[in-house]
Structure 1
Amino acid sequence: MTLKLSSAEMVAAARQRITEIETPDLIAMLGHPDVVVVDLRDIRERMRSGFIPGSFHAPRGMIEFWIDPDSPYYKDIFGQNGKTYVFHCASGWRSALTTATLQDMGFKAAHLKEGFSTWEKYGGPVEFPAQRD
């Protein structure tokens, strides 16, 4: 099978038109009241690798519906004026595609360029979900 456009090409095209934030820069932004970090990874990834403290979990498959105020799935966290939304995944691919899609919808956002993969390397804090019995 030959694809018209590969996933790598899609990510490269998205990165040409979105705002990318380097890991050390997002670490420095943590705790700022106007920054909302959104984790797009699967819940199993968050359980296995941990997550950025204070991040909001939004599964990749629902994000377009969660940011749309006309959707029955809308989440109020995405309706806050004056916030800087930074999306991330594990390596920056899913978040690049997500950020480009949300930008097309009229939602202003950025993404963590290298994703969670370099977070600990740069000294970023990590939390783990509480263990379930």
Structure 2
Amino acid sequence: MPLTHHVSDLVLLARSQIEQTSVQKAFRMQEQGEARLIDIRDVGELKQNGTVTGSYHAPRSMLEFWVDPHSPYHKIVFSTDRKLILFCASGMLSALATKTLMDMGMKNVMDMEGGFTEWRMQQLPIDRPT
């Protein structure tokens, strides 16, 4: 059965409906305590490449469960009025995840353009894998 929508279409649609920010602005917002960066990559990517210094790891596979206060898996870090800036490796998966959280009713969530790849290219602080 042929697909009626490709993943690139879904990412473009999500990006048209979410708030995005540059890595530089995300860095400033985190430094000023205005935002919390949420790394949604899988644990293997973190072990291989490290992560943004000060970010919180929430694997994409658990994100909706950790966000929902009615879920037995809820994490208190998501019960905040502070901006939550999601990122993945390149910004595609985090765009889709941001859209999903907005669909759940979150208003304080945004996506970091370019993801961890862009963060590293900008030479911003990272915690290297151990």
Match of 2:65 in 1: 65
Match of 2:26 in 1: 26
Per the TM alignment, residue 35 of structure 1 is displaced from its structure 2 partner at its CA by: 1.1
1:36-51 paired onto structure 2 within 5 Å: 36-51=36-51
Q: Percent identity?
A: 37
Structure that is richer in helix per residue? 2
Per the TM alignment, residue 3 of structure 1 is displaced from its structure 2 partner at its CA by: 0.5
Match of 1:122 in 2: 122
| Alpha-carbon separation, structure 1, partners of 2:23 and 2:33 | 18
1:80-99 paired onto structure 2 within 5 Å: 80=80, 82-99=81-98
Query: Segments of 4+ in structure 1 off by > 6 A?
Result: none
Query: Structure 2 vs 1, CA of residues 100 and 8 (structure 1 numbering), >3 Å: closer, same or farther?
Result: same
| Alpha-carbon separation, structure 2, partners of 1:28 and 1:122 | 13
Helix, strand or coil at the partner of 1:37: strand
TM-score for both structures, normalised by structure 2: 0.94
Gaps of 5+ in 1: none
Match of 2:106 in 1: 107
RMSD (CA atoms): 1.1
| Alpha-carbon separation, structure 2, partners of 1:128 and 1:43 | 13
